[in-house]
Structure 1
Amino acid sequence: MRSIVLLLLSIVTVLAQAPASPLATEIRAIIDEYENSVRANTQKLIAATTEEEKNQYRASIPSAGPYATKMMKLVQAYMDQPDVVKGVNWLVMGAAGFPEGQEALKMLGTTFADRAGIAEAVKQLEYHGLPAEPVLQAVIDKNTHRDEKAAALYALGAIHFKNFDASADRVSAAASKTKALECFQRLYADYEDVTIQGFKLSDSVAKMFFEMTNLQVGCEAPEIEGKDADGVEFKLSDYRGKYVIVIFWGGWCHACHGTLPLMNQAAEQLKDKNAVVIGVNTDIETEAKKALADYHVSFRNVLDNTSSGPNTTLYNLRNFPTLYLIDPKGVIAIKNGSLDAMVAQIVAAQGATK
């Protein structure tokens, strides 16, 4: 018995130490060449001492284009070899903006739709929107590998979820919601344990499902609570009876910087209109206090400490800044809308009550 165990262990060791195939090595060499060129340029940018030098290196970031051309030649020459999927994956994920990347995307829905090893690229298609739907459906229909099928169900569900969330048309929103739920229910039923790139797909699905059912206009806003910069506890429901504009932001977020002065103006404009502005700041505490001072933030903030803090996670934030308008009954009136639209709705409501 002991000899059998030792034999099995030796076989496993040999397999683990087996050299990569020539194709895998060549694919890796192209990727490394590109990544090393980008890394070298970045190091020069960091070391630059003048703005002129920095601009020079910003303008000379290596393009993935030449490497995509090399990679596609390899893919086309070795279509039937298992390791070629590594090249297809890189083209889809790292060269999507080039013709070779678009060609590789088509291949995912045809030649490679039933292959193992494409799960990471398939999951990435959640960011391609509806044009990726035929590719994802082909993988769902043809692929028998658990990771690949789960990734396709996840990505297609995520695309329809985002369409549902962004749609202003009720009929279109309802159709997208139905399709998203179909994908998510299949994933939960058969692939609940699948993990891609260290993330359990069902955990992400749970957040999207929560958002579809609890973070839409007409839903009661989930509680936001925590400590402000002075260490004092407060929560969203403390302001029940008032309109509340909530902004999720961080000093790390460049897009937030231009919005904060406008939020200060809104807070001043609305102080006599039964309305308040509150923030959920996503910096660590020391950086949060610095950002509050640097941008002269005049409204109260919950310090969530990271972009994955409890309140930020509960609201499933994908973009910063994100604004919500909560009505006096604690119901979401506007989700991820413009500040102007929120102020206008508050002013109109105040005028209607006079």
Structure 2
Amino acid sequence: MKSLILLLLSVVSLFAQVPASRLATEIRAIIDEYENSVRANTQKLIAAATEEEKNKFRASIPSAGPYATKMMKLVQTNLDQPDVVKGVNWLVTGAASFPEGQEALKILGTTFAGSKGIAEAIKQLEYHGLPAEPVLKAVIEKNTNPEEKAAALYALGAIHFKNFDASADRVSAAASKEKALEYFQQLNAKYADVTIQGFKLSDFAFKMLFEMMSLQVGCEAPEIEGKDADGVSFKLSDYRGKHVIVIFWGGWCHACHGILPLMNQTAAQLKDKNALVLGVNTDIETEAKKALADYQVSFRNILDNTSSGPNTTLYNLRNFPTLYLIDPKGVIAIKNGSLDAMVNQINAAK
């Protein structure tokens, strides 16, 4: 038995020592070169003593363009090699805005549509929108691997979900919703346990399904609850009978900084209008208290303690800040709209 164990260990050790192919090494070298250049620039930005120096390094963040050109040459001369998939994946996910990224997308949908090892790149196509649809359908048709099929179903569902969420036209929204439901239902029925980078795709799909069904104008707003900076528990439904503008924000969010003074002004203006502003802060507690002080936030906030806190997760937040207007009956009146539109609707209410 001991000799058998030693033999097995030696075999495992032998496989562990198999060197990477020349192509895999070259692909990795290009990726490392790019990532190291970005890292070096970031370190200079962190170490910069003045705002002028910081701006200099912000303006000199290395472009992925030259590295995409190198990678595409490598890909085109090695299309018959299995390891070239790694280069195609990087171009699709890391250089999507460059011509080489677009070319890699075409290659992914043709040469490698049936290949194993493309699931991560396929999942990322959710950010490419409808132009990626032919590639994703090709993967579903030609690929026999569960990870790749699941990733394609997920990405198609996510693309149509985002179209539904952004559509101002009822007919288009209904069509997008139907397609998103179709792809997510297939994903949940056949590949519910498939994970990519440690996360179940079906969990992401569930959040989008919940948003389509429960976080739209006309739906009763899901409860928001937690503690404020003083440790006092409260919830959204405590304010039933009033209009409530809810803002999800964080001190870490640069886009939030500009709107906070406006939210303070709005909170003051609404005091006599049976309405209020309620914040959901997504910083860790110590940083939350600092942000509340730094921006002199005058409205009450629930501390969610992270951008993946319970309330933020429930509302499937993808952008910060995000605003909701909840009417006096607790129904969503405006989702992710402008502050002006919300104030106008409150002012127009009798």
Distance 1:55 1:225, change over 3 A: closer
Matched, 1:305 2:305: yes
| SS of corresponding position for 2:325 | strand
| SS of corresponding position for 2:49 | coil
CA distance in 2: counterparts of 1:314 and 1:35, whole angstroms: 34
CA distance in 2: counterparts of 1:125 and 1:250, whole angstroms: 28
| SS of corresponding position for 1:288 | helix
| SS of corresponding position for 1:337 | coil
Q: Counterpart in 2 of 1:197? A: 197
Q: CA deviation at 1:250?
A: 0.6
| SS of corresponding position for 1:211 | helix
Q: Counterpart in 2 of 1:121? A: 121
CA distance in 2: counterparts of 1:61 and 1:237, whole angstroms: 46
Q: CA deviation at 1:112?
A: 1.1
Q: CA deviation at 1:56?
A: 3.2
CA distance in 2: counterparts of 1:58 and 1:327, whole angstroms: 42
Matched, 1:268 2:268: yes
CA distance in 2: counterparts of 1:66 and 1:300, whole angstroms: 49
Q: CA deviation at 1:8?
A: 4.5
Match runs of 1:45-84 below 5 Å: 45-84=45-84
Q: Counterpart in 2 of 1:25? A: 25
CA distance in 1: counterparts of 2:47 and 2:253, whole angstroms: 24
CA distance in 1: counterparts of 2:112 and 2:13, whole angstroms: 30
| SS of corresponding position for 2:123 | helix
Deviations 1:167-197 (A, max 9, x none): 1111111111111111111111111111112
Deviations 1:253-287 (A, max 9, x none): 11111111111111111111111111111111111
AA at the equivalent of 2:261:
P
Deviations 1:149-169 (A, max 9, x none): 111111110011111111111
The percent identity for this pair of structures is 85
Matched, 1:348 2:348: yes
CA distance in 1: counterparts of 2:269 and 2:330, whole angstroms: 21
Deviates more, 1:33-42 or 1:218-227: 33-42
Q: TM-score, normalised by structure 2?
A: 0.96
AA at the equivalent of 1:72:
M
| SS of corresponding position for 1:92 | helix
Q: CA deviation at 1:55?
A: 3.3
Matched, 1:281 2:281: yes
AA at the equivalent of 1:306:
T
CA distance in 1: counterparts of 2:146 and 2:6, whole angstroms: 31
CA distance in 2: counterparts of 1:91 and 1:8, whole angstroms: 38
Q: Counterpart in 2 of 1:219? A: 219
Q: CA deviation at 1:98?
A: 1.3
Q: CA deviation at 1:133?
A: 1.0
CA distance in 1: counterparts of 2:134 and 2:238, whole angstroms: 48
Distance 1:325 1:125, change over 3 A: same
Q: CA deviation at 1:52?
A: 3.8
Q: Counterpart in 2 of 1:182? A: 182
AA at the equivalent of 2:337:
G
Deviations 1:33-90 (A, max 9, x none): 1112222222222233344433333333222222111111111111011100000011
Matched, 1:164 2:164: yes
AA at the equivalent of 1:274:
N
Deviates more, 1:87-96 or 1:4-13: 4-13
Q: Counterpart in 1 of 2:43? A: 43
CA distance in 2: counterparts of 1:103 and 1:314, whole angstroms: 38
Q: Counterpart in 2 of 1:321? A: 321
Q: CA deviation at 1:200?
A: 1.2
Q: CA deviation at 1:101?
A: 0.9
Q: CA deviation at 1:141?
A: 1.2
Q: Counterpart in 2 of 1:107? A: 107
CA distance in 2: counterparts of 1:337 and 1:95, whole angstroms: 31
Distance 1:221 1:121, change over 3 A: same
Q: CA deviation at 1:22?
A: 0.8
Distance 1:283 1:80, change over 3 A: same
CA distance in 2: counterparts of 1:327 and 1:56, whole angstroms: 47
CA distance in 1: counterparts of 2:235 and 2:310, whole angstroms: 13
AA at the equivalent of 2:25:
T
Q: Counterpart in 2 of 1:134? A: 134
CA distance in 2: counterparts of 1:53 and 1:87, whole angstroms: 35
The runs of 5 or more residues in structure 1 that have no matched partner are none
Matched pairs, number: 350
CA distance in 2: counterparts of 1:341 and 1:332, whole angstroms: 14
AA at the equivalent of 1:179:
K
The runs of 5 or more residues in structure 2 that have no matched partner are none
